[in-house]
């Protein structure tokens, strides 16, 4: 194997710029490709360097659930895989992953009455998929399902209308979806509950929903510490005098996060966290703060880092915004605008997932004249420090490192395991997606490639090092 180097990213003196890479378009077909239009149903999941994405695609009225994955932290992606072939339009897919187990749920009306919830599972990381399992059979509506996998267990919640008013129901499996528990209605009150979301870590299961028992919508919470067999009492987690609605959640070990939409005179995004597995909770924290409507929150967590996304129109158009906390929600970094949303729908939904130090976001927009799925990643999830080496793997065995990083000089060295004797190319891209350098990569020694960055301004850059066979990797460089 020949060792080769790669470069990316530059920061202004004294500050660290967020390491968000350019938008990637994940779908290219001529029909509309859209994410779930509910924030309780996550469309992206991440485990290690593997990222899983699901969405709806197809001609109007006959969309199906599709899937693709990346095994190199979002650098490259597999071909699209069609997961459903229903005669009725599936709706609101949700995805979750735990190790090699990947689970997807959705609802559709193929049985001639209102919607049922369906489940599908892969036990080899999304390479192949098992058969569909129908989880509900009542003639009322069962929809807006959310799924969370933890080890060999799978937990599913959904909104159900069998009692006329919306209610939240639950089922779980301990063998990756082969067998299932009986259905259980989780709220103890029948006034109305919907838009439930579920997250699980080990044997702890956390469910959040919007509830109407007080006469206005509030966020309620319920926890099981034995894998969904028994449950704590309902808990009103957010008692808003105006509105507490549309919760979505994330968990990483004992760190549990919920974000929701509130109305303190203007729709804004709020966060609440627990560092002891849901026993105690922090005060409410307002994440967004602007004079426009903020909507569609999503949250991802890895360790003590929490990532929150939403959209608002503060600049006269719809923008995707982001904030991060590195202390489990105790304090928050500045707001960052990630992209402009060109969606044709009035309520676009963005979905974020986190793994290790990286954040992964998916959404849909029609910037190219057709609704398509887009993806963006922050490959480090945190600022770069002096002497750090940041790498983002390409194909297995093709991870890059950069030396020095950050750099105050004009020359950096890129190292990457590549196939010996295969011609290499370097491409350097700025944060706007513009290609600034694209040329053959000639090794200065047998194990490294040098790149002159003396002419570049301080900032963040993406450098790709690849072979003519298409194999390659991407990394970030910081320059003072």
Specify the CATH class of 2-10+385-477 in words.
Answer: mainly beta
Which of 178 and 367 is assigned the larger pLDDT?
Answer: 178
The dihedral region occupied by 126, where left means phi > 0, alpha psi between -120 and 50, and beta the remainder, is left
In the chain, DSSP finds a helix count (H) and a strand count (E) of: 0, 38
> Can you tell me the distance from the alpha carbon of 275 to that of 327, in angstroms, rounded to the nearest whole number?
10
Question: Dihedral of CA 324/329/333/337: which sign?
Answer: positive
CA-to-CA separations, 179 to 37, 176, 230, 331, 470, in angstroms, rounded: 29, 8, 18, 42, 42
Query: Per-residue pLDDT for 89 more than 70?
Result: yes
Residue 17 is predicted with a pLDDT of 39
What does the mean pLDDT of the chain come to?
Answer: 86
Q: What pTM was estimated for this model as a whole?
A: 0.79
Residue 403 is predicted with a pLDDT of 82
Query: Per-residue pLDDT for 396 more than 90?
Result: no
In CATH, the number for domain 24-378 is 2.120.10.10
> Can you tell me the distance from the alpha carbon of 84 to that of 62, in angstroms, rounded to the nearest whole number?
11
10 Å CB burial of residue 433 (0-12, 13-18, 19+) is exposed
Which of 467 and 462 is assigned the larger pLDDT?
Answer: 462
Contact 108, 118 (CB under 8 A): yes
Q: Is the peptide bond before 55 cis (omega within 30 degrees of 0)?
A: no
Residue 379 is predicted with a pLDDT of 67
Q: Return the domain boundaries, the chain.
A: 2-10+385-477, 24-378
Least confident piece of the model among 8-12, 273-277, 311-315, 471-475: 8-12
Query: Per-residue pLDDT for 343 more than 80?
Result: no
> pLDDT by residue (tens digit) across 175-217?
999 999 999 999 999 999 999 999 999 999 999 999 999 988 9
Task: Name residues whose C-beta falls within 8 Å of residue 16's C-beta, 6 or more positions apart in sequence.
Answer: 383, 384, 478
């Amino acid at each position: 194997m020949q060792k080769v180097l790669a470069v990316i990213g530059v920061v202004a003196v004294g500050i660290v710029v967020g390491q968000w890479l350019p938008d990637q378009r994940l779908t290219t077909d001529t029909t509309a490709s859209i994410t779930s239009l509910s924030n309780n149903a996550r469309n992206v999941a991440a485990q290690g360097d593997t990222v899983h994405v699901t969405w709806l695609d197809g001609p109007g009225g006959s969309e199906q659930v599709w899937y693709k994955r990346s095994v190199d932290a979002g650098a490259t992606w597999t071909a699209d895989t069609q997961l459903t072939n229903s005669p009725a339009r599936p709706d609101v897919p949700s995805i979750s992953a735990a190790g090699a187990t990947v689970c997807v749920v959705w609802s559709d009306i193929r049985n001639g009455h209102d919607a049922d919830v369906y489940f599908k599972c892969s036990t080899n990381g999304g390479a192949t998929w098992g058969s569909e399992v129908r989880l509900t059979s009542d003639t009322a509506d069962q929809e807006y399902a959310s799924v969370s996998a933890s080890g060999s267990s799978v937990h599913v919640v959904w909104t159900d209308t069998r009692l006329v008013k919306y209610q939240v129901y639950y089922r779980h499996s301990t063998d990756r979806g082969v067998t299932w528990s009986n259905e259980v209605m989780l709220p103890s009150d029948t006034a109305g509950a919907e838009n439930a979301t579920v997250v699980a870590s080990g044997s702890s299961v956390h469910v959040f929903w919007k509830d109407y028992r007080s006469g206005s919508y509030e966020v309620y919470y319920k926890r099981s510490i034995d894998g969904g067999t028994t449950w704590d009492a309902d808990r009103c987690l957010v008692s808003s005098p105006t509105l507490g609605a549309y919760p979505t959640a994330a968990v990483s070990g004992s760190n549990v996060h919920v974000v929701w939409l509130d109305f303190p005179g203007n729709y804004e995004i709020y966060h609440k966290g627990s560092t002891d597995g849901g026993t105690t909770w922090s005060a409410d924290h307002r994440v967004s703060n602007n004079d426009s409507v903020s909507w569609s929150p999503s949250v991802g967590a890895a360790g003590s880092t929490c990532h929150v996304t939403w959209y608002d129109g503060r600049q006269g158009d719809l923008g995707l915004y982001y904030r991060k906390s590195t202390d489990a929600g105790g304090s928050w970094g500045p707001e960052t605008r990630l992209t402009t949303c060109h969606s044709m729908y009035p309520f676009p939904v963005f979905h974020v997932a986190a793994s290790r130090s990286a954040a992964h976001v998916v959404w849909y927009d029609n910037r190219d004249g057709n609704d398509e799925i887009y993806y963006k990643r922050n490959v480090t999830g945190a600022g770069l420090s002096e002497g750090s080496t940041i790498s983002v793997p390409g194909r297995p065995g093709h991870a890059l490192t950069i030396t020095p990083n950050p750099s105050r000089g004009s020359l950096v060295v890129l190292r990457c395991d590549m196939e010996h004797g295969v011609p290499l190319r370097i491409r350097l891209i700025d944060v706007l997606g513009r290609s600034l350098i694209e040329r053959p990569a000639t090794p200065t020694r047998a194990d490294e490639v040098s790149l002159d960055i003396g002419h570049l301004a301080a900032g963040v850059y993406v450098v790709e090092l690849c072979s003519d066979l298409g194999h390659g990797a991407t990394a970030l460089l910081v320059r003072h």
